[in-house]
Structure 1
């Protein structure tokens, strides 16, 4: 089982390049970054975690720019979005960003995706909460076409792209892995239909063995080989005994949290987490 981290790449935190180097030096497998394009001041949508919206949600760098700095500073670290809010991103522009980052990093990018929870944020992008998952599906399918076909087009309810040339193509074949966040049965059906991996959160009561069994059952029901689907657990507990259970259950990767601290505080926390890598 591999061990990576996730981080809100804020303008008051650590430089993404320095963070990438620090992770690689300590043996971590991957860096996944969170994103919000902006936070409307109205705050109609309550924070899912309860209470006030944490400061970091308003201060994130663009994920592709942040990961490009991390890619330039490292050699083997996997780089991912955790998660990219696909309903808020143009599929043509996003497909080019993904392909460019994958090529320039030597094939190290992974696209973690989600539908989003902030209604007013997505509305500012022209997306609607009620149809966000249908929109996400079509945009992912359109991006896959752009990554894999010489002359690619897509015609759906929400996405329409006439046959086009788009380069560069990703290094990874057929394209970088697409990992879908969420825990519901609906999420699992979408993973099986058009993704390459599952990206659940390790909330209260999360059972890794049950999670692996759920994904396997969903894959078999959907006619997909379970071996073609990975499981990366977001915000896994930084506890050796718990992580041993994850490993025994067959979880492919866990992501530990890099906290919302300044540079020195983050580097100190990485030193504390490092013994969990491969433990």
Structure 2
């Protein structure tokens, strides 16, 4: 059986999307938010299912969901409205091929056995499409509200990784088990260092979810990752505003750029040459309607990287 990580990196490079599927960071999006009475940074999710189905049909490789349990206006962004595992279960039911990733579940504020059960359930219900991105979290306000120790999140993270790795078999009294059992080991990708040493991360994680950056940034980061993790997958993200004119030149900003599809293709090729193996596109700054943007990328960009000889087999259910 092909693993989710093997599917993610089939052909050496792939392109996905980062939710929420809305362009609420644009002037028009913000105007719509005010009209609808949504919180600042709260995306419009009325089209999310249709857009997820469209992304699936067009061949985007993965759809990444953030884990933000509480809306904190001091961060200026809700980022993710639905509970992450509930949302993944829903998306598993409305899509067929696209991988479903978390970027990333904050382990130390969660109940470990329920995290395992939720992840195993998504893995089974989706047909083995789960990519479990994990992190230690960076919002101190959340920890006391969940009865967790912010300063102790480093040890808590390691303990939860150990439990996820053995399916809780070494953490329960004899005769007890967490069902469903995992059909294959849960693929664990880390966002940041999760308060751990690079050596520990490289030895214990299956992949890297790196912060956005330029190709030069990633060339340095990939080298550091390879030094501790060998050939384990390295992924990152781009905040993209895809211009209508195909040859509009790139204008960089923090975490991404505005430009036409030719600039996007050039950037993705540069990232691939730097050693990045997967890129998720974040479209909240995208001015154009997202369905048009996804179709253009699906028609003109994905074929440059998702070639027929690297076509994916049907997922096992």
In the alignment, structure 1 residue 170 sits paired with structure 2 residue 182? yes
Q: Which residue of 1 aligns with 2:94?
A: 73
**Using the alignment, how far apart are the partners of 1:240 and 1:205 within structure 2?**
13
Structure 2 residue runs without a partner (length 5+): 1-12, 22-41, 240-255, 258-263, 305-317
CA deviation after TM superposition for structure 1 residue 104, in Å: 0.9
* Cα distance change of structure 1 residues 144 and 240 upon mapping to structure 2, 3 Å threshold: same
> Of 26, 30, 35, which residue of structure 1 is paired with 2:58?
26
Q: Is 1:267–2:295 an aligned residue pair? A: no
What per-residue deviation string (whole Å, max 9, x for no partner) do you get for residues 64-122 of structure 1?
A: 12122221122211001111111121110010111111011110001011111111112
Name the count of aligned residue pairs. Answer: 248
- Residue aligning to 2:311: none
| Post-superposition offset of 1:184 | 8.9
Q: Which residue of 2 aligns with 1:223?
A: none
- Displacement of 1:40 after TM fit? 5.2
Whether 2:187 is the aligned partner of 1:181: answer no
Contact 1:178/1:197 (<8 A) preserved? yes
TM-score, normalised via structure 1 length = 0.78
Distance 1:183 1:99, change over 3 A: closer
- Alignment of structure 1 residues 81-120 onto 2, 5 Å: 81-120=102-141
Structure 1 unaligned blocks of 5 or more = 48-52, 155-160, 220-225
Q: TM-score, normalised by structure 2?
A: 0.70
Compute the displacement of 1:170 (Å): 2.3
Aligned partner (choices 275, 279, 286) of residue 254 of structure 1: 279
| Aligned residue number for residue 145 of structure 1 | 166
The answer to whether the 8 Å contact 1:258/1:270 transfers is no
Post-superposition offset of 1:17: 3.2
The secondary structure found in structure 2 opposite 1:214 is helix
Deviation string, structure 1 residues 15-43 (Cα, Å, up to 9, x no partner): 543232111122200001112111357x5
SS at the partner of 1:129? coil
Match of 2:204 in 1: 194
Q: Residue 217 and residue 271 in structure 1: after superposition, are their counterparts in 2 closer, same or farther (change >3 A)?
A: same
* Corresponding residue SS for 2:97: coil
Question: Which residue of 1 is the match for residue 17 of structure 2?
Answer: 5
- Root-mean-square deviation (CA), in Å? 2.7
Residues 231, 185 of structure 1: alpha-carbon distance in 2 compared, 3 angstrom cutoff: farther
Retained in 1: the 8 A contact 2:154–2:196? no
Change (3 A) 1:132 1:8: farther
1:220-241 deviations in Å (ceiling 9; x for gaps): xxxxxx13x1111133646221
1:153-188 alpha-carbon deviations (Å, 9 max, x no partner): 33xxxxxx54431111223x2x12100011699463
Counterparts of 1:40 and 1:17 in 2: how far apart (Å)?
Answer: 25
Closer/same/farther in 2, CA of residues 187 and 247 from structure 1, 3 Å limit = farther
Structure 1 residue 193, shift from structure 2 partner = 2.9
2:24 is aligned to: none
**Contact 1:91/1:140 (<8 A) preserved:** no
Q: Determine whether 1:36 maps to 2:60.
A: no
Flag the 1:123–1:260 CA change in 2: closer, same or farther, 3 A: farther
